[in-house]
Amino acid sequence: MKSLNDRIDAAAREQGFVLVGFARLRELPRESFYRDWLADGRAGEMDYLAREPERRLDPKLRSVVSLGYPYEAPRVPEIDWRRELRGRIASYALGQDYHRYVLDKARAVAATLTGSRPGCQARVYVDTGPVFEREWAREAGIGWFGKNTNILNRERGSYVFLAEIFTDVELDGSVQPYDDYCGTCRRCLDLCPTQALAGGYLMEPRLCISYLTIESRGPIPVELRPKLGNWIFGCDICQEVCPWNGEGMSPVNDELAPRLPELMNLDEEGFRRRFRASAIKRTKRRGLLRNVAVALGNSGNREAVAVLARALETEPEALVRAHIAWALGRLGGSAALRALEKRRIREADPSVRGELADALNIICA
């Protein structure tokens, strides 16, 4: 007769999970690090990370089932993004928002547990609750904590969504922890454009392109804007360069490189219609267009001036106008100068006026 672990594993595989592990819950020895991390302000604008710290450190249940659901990382089309004015989005954001379907699949796995132990607790999370997903994934033996701070698995790399089922049922834990296979490799650290990764398996979130383009809701620091390149939602660089992800033979997906002028022209209704089922909706329209403006400014292509100049006149969000002004200052030229001077006359928002002045100073210097 199959053990409960085996039945849960079989149910998870049936739902498409490729990594399944089990761990007995204990209080994680991370309290000092976690509280210092918060005190240093490393959470940035991610205030939710400070909520319910006790539940993160000690879930007060008995066992966890850690699951990994794969997602594809298609190849990027071979294009000159500056000439074609194309952005980049992280692979995980392609298609339907993963929170929806991975959570449904994890709940189906949890049903095997509750069906076998009526009345038991089974709390299911997919990047949505106060739990240390990666720490429990490591405890459950489905991978190791990589230098890029992702969970890595020798067969699956890091292109997996993590899910967890916390329960008061005592499940047998994994036999042994997953070894660390990063070795002396430093590709992710050395090739991160903002140097967000540091030795000791640490990340400075406030420098991470994913944080800057998704979690940060205010102005992107001026000194970091050029380092974003054409990333407008997330970043895959530390995964793309990881040897454990390999080069792969996935087909090219044109949606990884959307056309920036099209996005710059989106109104609120157009944004909702295009991204209503996508993880990209998390940025909201103003966040995405802020990022698009930065990418256009980084393109060095003055063909972007026309779309930016139009948006500077019609854009209702001050945050977006401020980044458009910066982009026009980066691109320069007489058309950009005229657009900036025209807007300066009627701009009321002080933050935008500051960006307009800085951009004009750059062009006129």
Residues 96-139: tens digit of each pLDDT: 999 989 999 999 999 999 999 998 999 999 987 778 899 899 99
Q: Taking a C-beta distance cutoff of 8 angstroms, is the pair 55, 189 a contact?
A: no
pLDDT of residue 126: 93
Res 129: pLDDT: 74
Residues 18 and 153 in one domain: yes
The catalytic residue among 9, 47, 80, 127 is 127
In a domain, 17, yes or no: yes
CB 91 within 8 A of CB 73: yes
**Statement to judge: residues 136 and 268 lie in one domain:** no
pLDDT at 178 over 90: no
Q: Measured between alpha carbons, how far is 164 from 167 in angstroms, rounded to an integer?
A: 10
Domain count, the chain: 2
Looking at 167, 187, 214, which one is the last position of a domain? 167
Last residue of a domain, one of 144, 167, 190: 167
Round to whole Å and give the CA distance between 308 and 289. Answer: 11
**Average pLDDT of the segment spanning 215-239:** 97
Q: What is the pTM of this model?
A: 0.92
Question: Range of 66's domain?
Answer: 4-79+95-167
Residue 49 has pLDDT above 60, yes or no: no
| Lowest mean per-residue pLDDT among 55-69, 99-113, 322-336 | 55-69
24-38, 52-66, 210-224, 313-327: range with lowest mean pLDDT = 24-38
Q: Residue 32 — very low, low, confident or very high, per pLDDT cuts 50/70/90?
A: low
In a domain, 143, yes or no: yes
Is 6 catalytic? The answer is no
Q: Is 311 a member of any domain? A: yes
Residue 136: which of 59, 202, 198 has the closest Cα? 59
pLDDT at 31 over 70: no
335 within domain boundaries: yes
How confident is the model over 17-34, as a mean pLDDT?
82
Is residue 201 situated within a structural domain?
Answer: no
Per-residue pLDDT averaged across 45-51, rounded? Answer: 62
Whether residue 220 is contained in a domain is answered as no
Of 179, 133, 99, nearest to 28 by C-alpha is 133
Give the model's confidence band at 314: pLDDT under 50 very low, under 70 low, under 90 confident, else very high. very high
Q: Does 144 score more than 60 pLDDT?
A: yes
Domain-embedded: residue 248: no
Share of the chain above pLDDT 70, in %: 90
As a whole-number percent, the residues of the chain with pLDDT over 90 amount to: 76
Q: What is the mean pLDDT of the chain?
A: 91
Any idea what the CATH number is for the domain that residue 349 is in? 1.25.10.10
Could you give the CA distance from residue 320 to residue 337 in angstroms, rounded to a whole number?
Answer: 18
Same domain as 272, residue 156:
no
Give the residue among 106, 83, 197 at the shortest CA–CA distance from 150: 197
Same domain for 27 and 145, yes or no, is yes
The pLDDT value recorded for residue 67 is: 98
Cβ atoms of 360 and 333 within 8 Å: the answer is no
Rounding to the nearest 10 degrees, give the CA dihedral for residues 114, 116, 120, 122.
Answer: -40
Q: What is the pLDDT of residue 141?
A: 94
In sequence order, what are the residues at sequence separation of 6 or more whose Cβ sits closer than 8 angstroms to the Cβ of residue 206?
Answer: 41, 42, 44, 212, 216
176 domain-assigned: no
Whether 48 shows a pLDDT value over 70: the answer reads no
Instruction: List the Cα angle 169/104/168 in 5-degree steps.
Output: 10
Pick the range with the lowest mean pLDDT from 23-32, 67-76, 119-128: 23-32
pLDDT at 165: 96
